């Protein structure tokens, strides 16, 4: 949804404990932009009144490894 840039991308894959993995950070939406609560769900975006609630089923994201590699002195803890 519009405004989600910078938010977390997580994965539940292979984690029966219910824990999540940090996978990356949302950068942008791609593909067909959808609009309206029927397509975007109950969330509400206070965007332009002509196109409220713009969202997409597909996002572009930067991986955690790329983010960490760009920060001097940072490391990625993996378990």
> Which residue range is the domain that position 42 belongs to?
8-65
Rounded CA gap, 30 and 38, in Å? 19
Number of domains in the chain: 1
What confidence score (pLDDT) does residue 38 get?
73
Question: What confidence tens digit (pLDDT) does each residue in 16-71 have?
Answer: 777 788 889 999 888 887 877 777 777 766 655 555 667 888 889 999 889 989 99
1 part of a folded domain: no
What confidence score (pLDDT) does residue 27 get?
92
pTM beyond 0.85, yes or no: no
Tell me the CA distances in angstroms from 57 to 2, 39, 66, one per residue in order: 12, 10, 23
3-class secondary-structure state, position 62: strand
72 part of a folded domain: no
77 part of a folded domain: no
2 part of a folded domain: no
12 part of a folded domain: yes
Q: What are phi and psi of 38, to 5 degrees?
A: -65, -30
């Amino acid at each position: 949804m519009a405004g989600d840039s910078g938010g977390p991308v997580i994965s539940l894959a292979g984690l029966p404990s219910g824990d999540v993995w940090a996978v990356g950070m949302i950068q942008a939406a791609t593909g067909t932009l959808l609009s309206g609560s029927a397509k975007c769900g109950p969330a509400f975006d206070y965007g332009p009144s002509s196109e409220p609630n713009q969202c997409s089923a597909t996002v572009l994201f930067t991986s955690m490894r790329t983010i960490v590699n760009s920060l001097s002195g940072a490391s990625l803890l993996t378990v």
